[in-house]
Amino acid sequence: MKTIRKSFPETGLEASALHKEMQMTKSKDAAWREGKVFGYIYYKDDEAAKVAEEAYRLFCCENSLNPSLFVSLKRFETETVQMMTDLLHGGPDAAGILTSGGTESIIMAMKTARDKARNDHSEIKYPEVVSPESVHPAFDKAAHYLDIKLIHTPVMDDKRADINAIRKAITSNTILLVGSAPCFPHGVIDPIAEIGQLALQYKIPFHVDACMGGMILPFAEELGYPIPGFDFRVPGVTSISADIHKYGYSPKGASVVIYATHELRKYQFFVYTDWSGGLYGSPAILGSRCGGPIAAAWATLVFHGRDGYLRMTREVMETSKKLQERINAIPSLRVVSNPDTCIFAVTSDNIDIFEVGDELTAGGWHLDRIQFPNALHVTLSYHNIKKADEFILALKNAVAKVSVEKTKSRSTHFAVSFVKGLSKMLPETWFKKLSSAATKMMGNKDGKGQGMKAAMYGITAAIENRGNVHDLVLDALDGMY
Protein backbone atom coordinates (compact mmCIF):
# COMPACT_ATOMS: atom_id res chain seq x y z
CA MET A 1 0.00 0.00 0.00
CA LYS A 2 1.88 3.02 -1.25
CA THR A 3 -0.79 5.65 -1.57
CA ILE A 4 -2.10 7.53 1.44
CA ARG A 5 -5.73 6.75 2.29
CA LYS A 6 -7.84 9.86 1.87
CA SER A 7 -11.37 8.52 1.84
CA PHE A 8 -13.29 6.36 4.27
CA PRO A 9 -12.82 2.63 3.47
CA GLU A 10 -15.88 1.14 1.69
CA THR A 11 -15.15 -2.39 2.84
CA GLY A 12 -13.27 -3.77 5.81
CA LEU A 13 -9.78 -5.19 5.45
CA GLU A 14 -9.01 -8.68 6.66
CA ALA A 15 -6.90 -8.75 9.85
CA SER A 16 -3.79 -10.40 8.42
CA ALA A 17 -3.62 -7.98 5.46
CA LEU A 18 -4.19 -5.11 7.86
CA HIS A 19 -1.34 -6.23 10.11
CA LYS A 20 0.93 -6.72 7.12
CA GLU A 21 0.25 -3.17 6.02
CA MET A 22 0.89 -1.83 9.50
CA GLN A 23 4.13 -3.78 9.86
CA MET A 24 5.27 -2.47 6.51
CA THR A 25 4.49 1.09 7.53
CA LYS A 26 6.17 0.58 10.90
CA SER A 27 9.33 -0.63 9.21
CA LYS A 28 9.93 2.96 8.14
CA ASP A 29 9.97 4.21 11.75
CA ALA A 30 13.18 4.94 13.60
CA ALA A 31 14.94 1.67 14.48
CA TRP A 32 15.12 2.62 18.16
CA ARG A 33 15.66 -0.94 19.41
CA GLU A 34 19.22 -0.67 18.13
CA GLY A 35 19.84 1.91 20.86
CA LYS A 36 20.77 4.74 18.50
CA VAL A 37 17.75 6.96 19.21
CA PHE A 38 18.16 9.24 22.24
CA GLY A 39 14.96 10.38 23.94
CA TYR A 40 11.33 9.46 23.19
CA ILE A 41 11.83 5.81 24.12
CA TYR A 42 12.52 4.36 27.56
CA TYR A 43 13.04 0.63 27.32
CA LYS A 44 14.58 -1.88 29.68
CA ASP A 45 14.37 -5.21 27.87
CA ASP A 46 11.94 -7.59 26.21
CA GLU A 47 11.00 -9.30 29.49
CA ALA A 48 9.95 -6.02 31.15
CA ALA A 49 8.20 -4.93 27.95
CA LYS A 50 6.20 -8.17 27.91
CA VAL A 51 4.97 -7.53 31.46
CA ALA A 52 3.79 -4.04 30.50
CA GLU A 53 2.30 -5.17 27.19
CA GLU A 54 0.35 -7.96 28.87
CA ALA A 55 -1.00 -5.56 31.51
CA TYR A 56 -1.91 -3.04 28.79
CA ARG A 57 -3.65 -5.68 26.65
CA LEU A 58 -5.62 -6.98 29.65
CA PHE A 59 -7.15 -3.54 30.25
CA CYS A 60 -7.13 -2.20 26.70
CA CYS A 61 -10.95 -2.04 26.43
CA GLU A 62 -11.69 -0.89 29.98
CA ASN A 63 -12.59 2.71 30.66
CA SER A 64 -11.53 4.32 33.92
CA LEU A 65 -14.08 7.12 33.43
CA ASN A 66 -16.27 5.27 35.91
CA PRO A 67 -14.09 3.90 38.73
CA SER A 68 -17.03 2.13 40.38
CA LEU A 69 -17.46 -0.06 37.30
CA PHE A 70 -13.78 -0.81 36.94
CA VAL A 71 -12.62 -1.25 40.49
CA SER A 72 -9.42 -2.89 39.28
CA LEU A 73 -8.35 0.29 37.50
CA LYS A 74 -9.33 2.35 40.52
CA ARG A 75 -7.02 0.17 42.63
CA PHE A 76 -4.12 0.37 40.14
CA GLU A 77 -4.49 4.13 39.83
CA THR A 78 -4.69 4.76 43.58
CA GLU A 79 -1.77 2.47 44.32
CA THR A 80 0.37 3.99 41.56
CA VAL A 81 -0.20 7.47 42.97
CA GLN A 82 0.54 6.18 46.50
CA MET A 83 3.78 4.52 45.39
CA MET A 84 4.89 7.72 43.65
CA THR A 85 3.90 9.85 46.64
CA ASP A 86 6.00 7.60 48.86
CA LEU A 87 8.95 7.86 46.46
CA LEU A 88 8.73 11.66 46.45
CA HIS A 89 8.29 11.88 50.23
CA GLY A 90 4.80 13.34 50.25
CA GLY A 91 3.46 13.90 53.78
CA PRO A 92 0.42 12.15 55.27
CA ASP A 93 -1.98 14.66 53.65
CA ALA A 94 -0.41 14.50 50.18
CA ALA A 95 -2.77 13.59 47.33
CA GLY A 96 -2.25 13.06 43.62
CA ILE A 97 -3.80 12.03 40.32
CA LEU A 98 -2.54 9.82 37.52
CA THR A 99 -2.56 11.68 34.19
CA SER A 100 -1.79 10.87 30.58
CA GLY A 101 1.66 12.49 30.64
CA GLY A 102 3.88 15.33 31.76
CA THR A 103 1.96 17.93 29.79
CA GLU A 104 -1.36 17.03 31.38
CA SER A 105 0.24 16.98 34.86
CA ILE A 106 1.66 20.46 34.26
CA ILE A 107 -1.57 21.89 32.85
CA MET A 108 -3.35 20.53 35.94
CA ALA A 109 -0.79 22.03 38.36
CA MET A 110 -1.22 25.42 36.67
CA LYS A 111 -5.04 25.15 36.75
CA THR A 112 -4.91 24.23 40.43
CA ALA A 113 -2.77 27.29 41.19
CA ARG A 114 -5.08 29.52 39.14
CA ASP A 115 -8.24 28.30 40.83
CA LYS A 116 -6.70 28.49 44.31
CA ALA A 117 -5.73 32.09 43.58
CA ARG A 118 -9.27 32.81 42.32
CA ASN A 119 -10.57 31.47 45.62
CA ASP A 120 -8.03 33.06 47.99
CA HIS A 121 -7.15 36.25 46.10
CA SER A 122 -10.13 37.48 44.09
CA GLU A 123 -8.24 40.77 43.68
CA ILE A 124 -5.87 39.05 41.21
CA LYS A 125 -7.34 39.72 37.78
CA TYR A 126 -4.31 38.87 35.65
CA PRO A 127 -2.60 35.85 37.20
CA GLU A 128 1.11 35.37 36.59
CA VAL A 129 3.36 32.33 36.96
CA VAL A 130 7.10 32.88 37.39
CA SER A 131 9.29 30.20 35.81
CA PRO A 132 12.89 29.97 34.62
CA GLU A 133 13.18 30.20 30.82
CA SER A 134 14.44 26.59 30.73
CA VAL A 135 11.11 25.06 31.84
CA HIS A 136 9.38 22.73 29.41
CA PRO A 137 7.01 24.43 26.91
CA ALA A 138 4.17 22.49 28.56
CA PHE A 139 4.09 25.46 30.96
CA ASP A 140 3.72 27.89 28.06
CA LYS A 141 1.01 25.67 26.63
CA ALA A 142 -0.78 25.59 30.00
CA ALA A 143 -0.51 29.37 30.29
CA HIS A 144 -1.89 29.68 26.75
CA TYR A 145 -4.86 27.41 27.50
CA LEU A 146 -5.60 28.85 30.95
CA ASP A 147 -5.14 32.54 30.19
CA ILE A 148 -2.26 32.91 32.61
CA LYS A 149 0.75 35.12 31.95
CA LEU A 150 3.96 33.08 32.10
CA ILE A 151 6.94 35.18 33.16
CA HIS A 152 10.22 33.63 32.01
CA THR A 153 13.22 34.52 34.16
CA PRO A 154 16.78 34.15 32.87
CA VAL A 155 19.03 31.27 33.88
CA MET A 156 22.60 31.63 35.17
CA ASP A 157 25.70 30.69 33.15
CA ASP A 158 25.41 27.15 34.51
CA LYS A 159 21.83 27.05 33.09
CA ARG A 160 20.24 26.81 36.55
CA ALA A 161 17.51 29.29 37.50
CA ASP A 162 18.67 32.70 38.69
CA ILE A 163 17.09 33.08 42.12
CA ASN A 164 17.46 36.87 42.15
CA ALA A 165 15.67 37.14 38.82
CA ILE A 166 12.82 35.04 40.23
CA ARG A 167 12.63 37.26 43.31
CA LYS A 168 12.47 40.38 41.14
CA ALA A 169 9.75 38.87 38.90
CA ILE A 170 7.35 38.18 41.79
CA THR A 171 4.46 40.65 41.90
CA SER A 172 1.12 40.86 43.67
CA ASN A 173 -0.29 38.91 40.65
CA THR A 174 2.03 35.91 41.09
CA ILE A 175 0.04 32.73 41.71
CA LEU A 176 2.78 30.09 41.29
CA LEU A 177 6.56 29.64 41.20
CA VAL A 178 8.09 26.87 39.11
CA GLY A 179 11.42 25.02 39.08
CA SER A 180 12.65 21.98 37.13
CA ALA A 181 14.33 18.88 38.49
CA PRO A 182 15.96 18.66 36.06
CA CYS A 183 15.11 20.86 33.05
CA PHE A 184 14.98 19.13 29.68
CA PRO A 185 17.56 21.16 27.70
CA HIS A 186 20.63 20.82 29.92
CA GLY A 187 19.68 18.29 32.59
CA VAL A 188 20.45 20.62 35.50
CA ILE A 189 18.33 20.96 38.63
CA ASP A 190 17.13 24.46 39.53
CA PRO A 191 17.87 25.74 43.07
CA ILE A 192 14.71 24.16 44.47
CA ALA A 193 15.48 24.90 48.15
CA GLU A 194 16.02 28.62 47.44
CA ILE A 195 12.88 28.89 45.32
CA GLY A 196 11.04 27.12 48.14
CA GLN A 197 12.21 29.81 50.56
CA LEU A 198 10.85 32.52 48.24
CA ALA A 199 7.56 30.61 48.01
CA LEU A 200 7.29 30.53 51.80
CA GLN A 201 8.33 34.17 52.18
CA TYR A 202 5.77 35.42 49.65
CA LYS A 203 3.15 32.75 50.50
CA ILE A 204 2.96 31.52 46.89
CA PRO A 205 2.49 27.85 45.83
CA PHE A 206 5.58 26.23 44.29
CA HIS A 207 5.50 23.52 41.61
CA VAL A 208 8.53 21.31 40.91
CA ASP A 209 8.56 19.79 37.43
CA ALA A 210 10.19 16.42 38.00
CA CYS A 211 8.67 14.90 34.86
CA MET A 212 12.16 13.90 33.78
CA GLY A 213 13.76 13.42 37.18
CA GLY A 214 10.94 11.97 39.26
CA MET A 215 12.01 8.40 38.65
CA ILE A 216 15.77 8.95 38.39
CA LEU A 217 16.66 11.41 41.17
CA PRO A 218 15.27 9.40 44.15
CA PHE A 219 17.31 6.37 43.10
CA ALA A 220 20.41 8.40 42.16
CA GLU A 221 20.26 9.98 45.61
CA GLU A 222 20.02 6.55 47.24
CA LEU A 223 23.04 5.46 45.19
CA GLY A 224 25.07 8.34 46.66
CA TYR A 225 25.03 10.82 43.77
CA PRO A 226 25.05 14.43 45.00
CA ILE A 227 21.41 15.21 44.23
CA PRO A 228 20.16 18.47 45.77
CA GLY A 229 16.75 18.39 47.48
CA PHE A 230 13.91 18.52 44.96
CA ASP A 231 10.88 16.76 46.45
CA PHE A 232 8.32 17.29 49.23
CA ARG A 233 11.08 17.29 51.85
CA VAL A 234 12.00 20.77 50.60
CA PRO A 235 10.03 23.41 52.55
CA GLY A 236 7.76 25.43 50.28
CA VAL A 237 7.15 22.74 47.62
CA THR A 238 3.38 22.38 47.14
CA SER A 239 3.14 20.21 44.01
CA ILE A 240 5.29 17.91 41.87
CA SER A 241 4.83 16.40 38.41
CA ALA A 242 6.66 13.13 37.72
CA ASP A 243 6.39 10.93 34.64
CA ILE A 244 6.22 7.17 34.93
CA HIS A 245 6.37 6.85 31.14
CA LYS A 246 9.88 8.31 31.05
CA TYR A 247 12.45 6.93 33.52
CA GLY A 248 9.75 4.77 35.12
CA TYR A 249 9.96 2.75 31.85
CA SER A 250 6.19 2.24 31.50
CA PRO A 251 4.38 2.59 28.15
CA LYS A 252 3.33 6.11 27.20
CA GLY A 253 0.32 7.60 28.93
CA ALA A 254 1.37 7.71 32.60
CA SER A 255 2.44 10.60 34.81
CA VAL A 256 1.44 11.83 38.24
CA VAL A 257 0.76 15.25 39.64
CA ILE A 258 0.95 15.22 43.42
CA TYR A 259 -0.09 17.99 45.83
CA ALA A 260 1.05 18.57 49.39
CA THR A 261 -2.57 18.48 50.60
CA HIS A 262 -5.97 17.09 49.65
CA GLU A 263 -7.34 20.60 49.93
CA LEU A 264 -5.02 21.82 47.19
CA ARG A 265 -5.83 18.87 44.93
CA LYS A 266 -9.54 19.74 45.01
CA TYR A 267 -8.80 22.83 42.89
CA GLN A 268 -7.74 20.48 40.11
CA PHE A 269 -11.11 18.70 39.88
CA PHE A 270 -13.92 19.63 37.55
CA VAL A 271 -17.51 19.19 38.70
CA TYR A 272 -20.75 19.91 36.83
CA THR A 273 -23.98 19.12 38.58
CA ASP A 274 -26.69 20.50 36.24
CA TRP A 275 -26.33 18.22 33.23
CA SER A 276 -29.34 16.16 32.09
CA GLY A 277 -26.89 13.28 31.72
CA GLY A 278 -26.36 13.19 35.48
CA LEU A 279 -23.79 14.49 37.95
CA TYR A 280 -20.40 14.88 36.33
CA GLY A 281 -17.08 14.91 38.15
CA SER A 282 -13.70 14.54 36.52
CA PRO A 283 -10.27 14.59 38.17
CA ALA A 284 -8.14 15.77 35.20
CA ILE A 285 -8.37 16.72 31.51
CA LEU A 286 -9.43 13.46 29.91
CA GLY A 287 -12.97 12.12 30.06
CA SER A 288 -12.94 8.52 28.91
CA ARG A 289 -9.58 6.96 29.70
CA CYS A 290 -8.13 3.75 28.36
CA GLY A 291 -7.28 1.31 31.14
CA GLY A 292 -4.13 0.17 29.31
CA PRO A 293 -1.64 2.85 30.39
CA ILE A 294 -2.93 2.76 33.99
CA ALA A 295 -2.58 -1.01 34.33
CA ALA A 296 0.79 -0.98 32.56
CA ALA A 297 2.17 1.79 34.79
CA TRP A 298 1.14 -0.10 37.93
CA ALA A 299 2.53 -3.38 36.61
CA THR A 300 5.83 -1.77 35.61
CA LEU A 301 6.39 -0.18 39.04
CA VAL A 302 5.56 -3.41 40.85
CA PHE A 303 7.62 -5.52 38.43
CA HIS A 304 10.84 -3.53 38.82
CA GLY A 305 10.47 -2.43 42.46
CA ARG A 306 13.00 -0.23 44.23
CA ASP A 307 15.88 -2.66 43.67
CA GLY A 308 15.16 -2.89 39.94
CA TYR A 309 15.08 0.91 39.54
CA LEU A 310 18.27 1.22 41.59
CA ARG A 311 20.02 -1.21 39.24
CA MET A 312 18.82 0.61 36.12
CA THR A 313 19.65 4.04 37.55
CA ARG A 314 23.15 2.93 38.54
CA GLU A 315 23.91 1.75 35.00
CA VAL A 316 22.38 4.77 33.28
CA MET A 317 24.06 7.30 35.61
CA GLU A 318 27.47 5.60 35.37
CA THR A 319 27.27 5.45 31.56
CA SER A 320 26.13 9.07 31.45
CA LYS A 321 29.09 10.27 33.54
CA LYS A 322 31.53 8.29 31.39
CA LEU A 323 29.96 9.57 28.17
CA GLN A 324 30.18 13.17 29.37
CA GLU A 325 33.86 12.76 30.29
CA ARG A 326 34.65 11.19 26.92
CA ILE A 327 32.74 13.90 25.03
CA ASN A 328 34.57 16.64 26.93
CA ALA A 329 37.83 14.97 25.90
CA ILE A 330 36.97 15.32 22.17
CA PRO A 331 38.56 18.52 20.88
CA SER A 332 35.84 20.86 19.50
CA LEU A 333 33.09 19.39 21.69
CA ARG A 334 31.88 20.15 25.19
CA VAL A 335 28.96 19.21 27.40
CA VAL A 336 26.93 22.28 28.34
CA SER A 337 27.25 23.10 32.08
CA ASN A 338 27.58 20.25 34.62
CA PRO A 339 24.41 18.16 34.33
CA ASP A 340 22.98 16.52 37.45
CA THR A 341 21.59 13.51 35.64
CA CYS A 342 21.68 11.44 32.46
CA ILE A 343 20.26 14.24 30.31
CA PHE A 344 22.75 16.59 28.71
CA ALA A 345 23.57 18.73 25.69
CA VAL A 346 26.68 18.69 23.50
CA THR A 347 27.85 21.89 21.86
CA SER A 348 30.88 23.23 20.04
CA ASP A 349 32.63 26.57 20.01
CA ASN A 350 34.40 26.09 16.69
CA ILE A 351 32.47 23.74 14.42
CA ASP A 352 28.81 23.64 13.40
CA ILE A 353 27.28 21.19 15.87
CA PHE A 354 24.17 20.81 13.69
CA GLU A 355 26.37 19.51 10.90
CA VAL A 356 27.78 17.00 13.35
CA GLY A 357 24.12 16.12 13.99
CA ASP A 358 23.54 15.64 10.25
CA GLU A 359 26.51 13.28 10.02
CA LEU A 360 25.18 11.27 12.96
CA THR A 361 21.73 11.16 11.38
CA ALA A 362 23.25 9.76 8.20
CA GLY A 363 24.71 6.97 10.36
CA GLY A 364 21.31 6.13 11.88
CA TRP A 365 21.66 8.07 15.15
CA HIS A 366 19.01 10.45 16.41
CA LEU A 367 19.70 13.35 18.74
CA ASP A 368 17.36 16.30 19.17
CA ARG A 369 18.69 19.70 18.10
CA ILE A 370 18.37 22.41 20.74
CA GLN A 371 19.23 26.13 20.79
CA PHE A 372 20.78 28.88 22.96
CA PRO A 373 23.43 27.57 22.52
CA ASN A 374 23.03 25.32 19.48
CA ALA A 375 23.57 21.81 20.73
CA LEU A 376 22.72 18.13 20.28
CA HIS A 377 20.60 16.67 23.04
CA VAL A 378 21.19 13.37 24.78
CA THR A 379 18.49 11.74 26.91
CA LEU A 380 20.27 8.58 27.92
CA SER A 381 17.96 5.71 28.71
CA TYR A 382 18.64 2.08 29.49
CA HIS A 383 18.46 0.79 25.91
CA ASN A 384 21.14 3.29 24.79
CA ILE A 385 23.77 1.99 27.20
CA LYS A 386 24.89 -0.87 24.98
CA LYS A 387 25.75 1.64 22.26
CA ALA A 388 27.87 3.98 24.40
CA ASP A 389 31.25 3.04 22.85
CA GLU A 390 29.80 3.02 19.33
CA PHE A 391 28.26 6.43 19.93
CA ILE A 392 31.56 7.98 20.99
CA LEU A 393 33.21 6.54 17.88
CA ALA A 394 30.44 7.87 15.63
CA LEU A 395 30.67 11.25 17.31
CA LYS A 396 34.45 11.42 16.81
CA ASN A 397 34.06 10.44 13.14
CA ALA A 398 31.32 13.02 12.62
CA VAL A 399 33.46 15.75 14.20
CA ALA A 400 36.44 14.77 12.04
CA LYS A 401 34.30 14.84 8.89
CA VAL A 402 32.71 18.20 9.67
CA SER A 403 36.12 19.67 10.54
CA VAL A 404 37.52 18.87 7.08
CA GLU A 405 34.37 19.49 5.00
CA LYS A 406 34.70 23.23 4.85
CA THR A 407 32.54 23.64 1.72
CA LYS A 408 29.39 22.29 3.31
CA SER A 409 30.08 24.34 6.39
CA ARG A 410 30.47 27.48 4.34
CA SER A 411 27.18 26.89 2.52
CA THR A 412 25.39 26.33 5.84
CA HIS A 413 26.83 29.50 7.27
CA PHE A 414 25.94 31.37 4.13
CA ALA A 415 22.32 30.14 4.29
CA VAL A 416 22.07 31.07 7.97
CA SER A 417 23.46 34.58 7.60
CA PHE A 418 21.51 35.15 4.36
CA VAL A 419 18.15 34.32 5.99
CA LYS A 420 19.12 36.20 9.14
CA GLY A 421 19.80 39.26 6.99
CA LEU A 422 16.56 38.80 5.05
CA SER A 423 14.55 38.63 8.26
CA LYS A 424 15.87 42.03 9.22
CA MET A 425 15.46 43.65 5.80
CA LEU A 426 12.21 42.30 4.40
CA PRO A 427 8.76 43.47 5.46
CA GLU A 428 7.28 40.87 7.77
CA THR A 429 4.61 39.59 5.35
CA TRP A 430 7.20 38.99 2.64
CA PHE A 431 9.46 37.16 5.01
CA LYS A 432 6.60 34.95 6.18
CA LYS A 433 5.76 33.95 2.60
CA LEU A 434 9.39 33.23 1.83
CA SER A 435 10.02 31.29 5.00
CA SER A 436 6.89 29.23 4.46
CA ALA A 437 8.16 28.25 1.01
CA ALA A 438 11.57 27.51 2.48
CA THR A 439 10.07 25.29 5.17
CA LYS A 440 8.35 23.21 2.51
CA MET A 441 11.60 22.92 0.59
CA MET A 442 13.73 21.94 3.56
CA GLY A 443 11.07 20.02 5.45
CA ASN A 444 11.02 16.34 6.12
CA LYS A 445 7.80 15.57 4.30
CA ASP A 446 9.27 13.43 1.54
CA GLY A 447 12.67 12.81 3.03
CA LYS A 448 14.27 15.15 0.49
CA GLY A 449 16.32 18.07 1.64
CA GLN A 450 17.91 16.03 4.45
CA GLY A 451 21.27 17.59 3.77
CA MET A 452 19.81 21.00 4.49
CA LYS A 453 18.91 20.16 8.07
CA ALA A 454 21.90 21.83 9.68
CA ALA A 455 21.10 25.00 7.75
CA MET A 456 17.44 24.84 8.73
CA TYR A 457 18.16 24.46 12.46
CA GLY A 458 20.87 27.08 12.25
CA ILE A 459 18.48 29.49 10.60
CA THR A 460 15.69 29.05 13.14
CA ALA A 461 18.12 29.50 16.03
CA ALA A 462 19.69 32.58 14.47
CA ILE A 463 16.60 34.58 13.46
CA GLU A 464 16.23 37.31 16.03
CA ASN A 465 12.59 38.04 15.29
CA ARG A 466 11.08 35.06 17.11
CA GLY A 467 7.64 35.91 15.65
CA ASN A 468 8.98 34.86 12.26
CA VAL A 469 10.23 31.57 13.69
CA HIS A 470 6.80 31.08 15.27
CA ASP A 471 5.18 31.35 11.83
CA LEU A 472 7.76 29.03 10.35
CA VAL A 473 6.92 26.36 12.91
CA LEU A 474 3.17 26.89 12.38
CA ASP A 475 3.64 26.27 8.66
CA ALA A 476 5.72 23.18 9.36
CA LEU A 477 3.03 21.80 11.71
CA ASP A 478 0.28 22.53 9.19
CA GLY A 479 2.23 20.67 6.52
CA MET A 480 2.89 17.71 8.79
CA TYR A 481 -0.74 17.05 9.76
Ligand X SMILES: Cc1ncc(COP(=O)(O)O)c(C=O)c1O
Range in contact with ligand X (rule: CB under 6 A) among 17-25, 97-105, 107-115, 214-222? 97-105
Of the residues 80, 85, 174, 180, which one makes contact with ligand X according to CB under 6 A? 180
Task: For residue 102, state whether it binds ligand X (rule: CB under 6 A).
Answer: yes
Write out the DSSP string of 211-238: TTTTTTHHHHHHTT--PPP-STTSTT--
Going by C-alpha positions, the residue among 74, 103, 94 that lies closest to residue 241 is 103
CB of 195 to ligand X, least distance (A): 15
Strand (E) or helix (H) holding 148: none
Which of residues 111, 136, 186, 387 is near ligand X by CB under 6 A?
Answer: 136
Task: Map residues 246-275 to x or -, x wherever contact with ligand X holds by CB under 6 A.
Answer: ---------x--------------------
Residues 6+ apart with CB under 8 A from 255: 98, 99, 100, 101, 102, 104, 105, 211, 241, 242, 243, 244, 245
The window from 176-184, 286-294, 321-329, 334-342 that contacts ligand X (CB under 6 A) reads: 176-184
Q: Which of 175, 195, 212, 237 binds ligand X (CB under 6 A)?
A: 212
Pick the piece of the chain touching ligand X (CB under 6 A) from 17-25, 98-106, 151-159, 285-293: 98-106
Strand partners for 327: none
**Identified binder of ligand X from the candidate list 62, 115, 128, 243, rule CB under 6 A:** 243
Nearer to ligand X, 18 or 30 (CB): 30
Q: What minimum distance in Å lies between the beta carbon of 98 and ligand X?
A: 13
Phi, psi of 12 (to 5 degrees): -75, 160
Site size with ligand X, rule: CB under 6 A: 14
Q: Which stretch binds ligand X (CB under 6 A): 84-92, 208-216, 346-354, 442-450?
A: 208-216
Selected binder of ligand X within 62, 128, 209, 359 (CB under 6 A): 209
Nearer to ligand X among residue 173 and residue 238 (C-beta)? 238
In sequence order, what are the residues at sequence separation of 6 or more whose Cβ sits closer than 8 angstroms to the Cβ of residue 365?
36, 37, 38, 391, 394
**Residue 210, helix vs strand vs coil:** coil
**Nearer of residues 106 and 399 to ligand X, judged by Cβ:** 106
Of 87 and 216, CB closest to ligand X: 216
DSSP string computed for 41-99: -----HHHHHHHHHHHHHTSS-BTTSTTT-HHHHHHHHHHHHHHHHHTT--TT-EEEEE
Identity of the residue, 81 or 416, whose beta carbon is nearer to ligand X in the bound complex: 81
Residues that bind ligand X (CB under 6 A): 101-103, 106, 136, 138, 180, 183-184, 209, 211-212, 243, 255
